[in-house]
Amino acid sequence: MKNLFCFITAGCLLLLSCSEKKHIAKPGGKDLETIKIMSYNVHHCNPPAKPDVIDLNAIAAVINTAKPDFVGLQEIDVNTTRSGKALNQAKELAAKTNMNYYFAKAIDYQGGAYGVAILCKYKLSDVQVYPLSSDPATNAEPRVLVTASVVLPSGKVIRFANTHLDATSNPTNRSMQMKEINAIALKESTPFIITGDFNAVPGSEVIMAMDQVFTRTCFTCGPTIPADKPVKCIDFIGFTTRKPLLVQAHEVISAPEQSDHLPVVAVLGLKP
């Protein structure tokens, strides 16, 4: 009878633990502060099946459905001929998602600018834009890393970063750029979170270099490109291990028509 009681008690505890998946606790009984991060290459808000269409509403809808606190956007147009000379995509997406923003230009393009952007629910401060190196012989498109400090509701400070690494077939530039990003991240004493299109797959020289400094939110990573029939993952979210964070969730979102990449979302818990 005693053994039966123990068995029933253990079973009840198991059921209770399963029913409490949404509650995340830390030592002392207080809830762990969490933040939701998204990385999204938006293909200048041009649905691949509609070459002449710019659809900010479609991209904004994906973001609003996911409800992230931070978004790293790649391939953003500002005042370009192809997207609209009066259109600042970063600013408009920020307005449509009720977030703050910062656009970082990588290149001049069609009378405007093209680059990456940060969207954030919270105020961005101490924004830095770092040009990333490339071998002149490759004649590659310039790339940048943008970083910003953010004070969370708890008072904790994090550094959020976004990038889009070189897309040429030779990995030389990407490897060089990743090493520069690693060096920048290692100088930070606060948690450093990065999003980006790294144009490299797990196991490559570039991602192995990333893994030396960052913990990715996925180890067996779902494919993100091409969006309609994804076969490989080149979009990642990571964080430095100097100030450890806890990965609560990681997901590749199904949005096959809005861009040529699928967005990646992760939930991170901040240790006290």
Residue 115 burial (C-beta neighbours within 10 Å; 0-12, 13-18, 19+): buried
Q: How far apart are alpha carbons 249 and 35 in whole angstroms?
A: 11
**198-217 mean pLDDT:** 97
Q: What are phi and psi of 118, to 5 degrees?
A: -115, 135
Write down the pLDDT at residue 9: 38
22 pLDDT higher than 50: no
Contact by Cβ (8 Å): 38, 4: no
Residue 199 burial (C-beta neighbours within 10 Å; 0-12, 13-18, 19+): buried
Write down the pLDDT at residue 233: 98
117 pLDDT higher than 80: yes
Q: How far apart are alpha carbons 247 and 61 in whole angstroms?
A: 25
What predicted TM-score, i.e. pTM, was given to this entire model?
A: 0.88
Contact by Cβ (8 Å): 141, 132: no
Mean pLDDT of the chain: 90
Q: How are strands ordered across the β-sheet holding 112-120?
A: 100-109, 112-120, 70-78, 33-41, 264-270, 245-252
Stretch among 29-38, 56-65, 135-144, 190-199 having the lowest mean pLDDT: 29-38
Q: Which of 54, 76, 67, 55 is nearest to 98 (CA)?
A: 67
CA atoms within 13 A on the CB side of 143: 29
Write down the pLDDT at residue 241: 75
Q: How far apart are alpha carbons 165 and 239 in whole angstroms?
A: 17
247 pLDDT higher than 70: yes
pLDDT band at 30 (very low <50, low <70, confident <90, very high): low
Domains of the chain listed by start with CATH number: 24-270 (3.60.10.10)
Residues counted in the chain? 272
Write the pLDDT tens digit of every residue in 37-61: 999 999 999 999 999 999 999 999 9
Cis peptide before 226 (omega within 30 of 0): yes
What element of type H or E holds 93? helix 89-97
Write the pLDDT tens digit of every residue in 54-84: 999 999 999 999 999 999 999 999 999 999 9
Q: What are phi and psi of 66, to 5 degrees?
A: -75, -25
Q: What percent of the chain has pLDDT over 70?
A: 89
Contact by Cβ (8 Å): 109, 80: yes
- Please calculate the CA angle 167-192-231 and round it to the nearest 5 degrees: 35
pLDDT band at 235 (very low <50, low <70, confident <90, very high): very high
253 pLDDT higher than 90: yes
Q: Which of 173, 160, 176 is nearest to 245 (CA)?
A: 160
**8-26 mean pLDDT:** 33
Question: SS3 helix, strand, coil % of the chain, rounded to 5?
Answer: 25, 35, 40
pLDDT band at 147 (very low <50, low <70, confident <90, very high): very high
pLDDT band at 271 (very low <50, low <70, confident <90, very high): confident
Count CB-CB contacts under 10 A for residue 166. 27
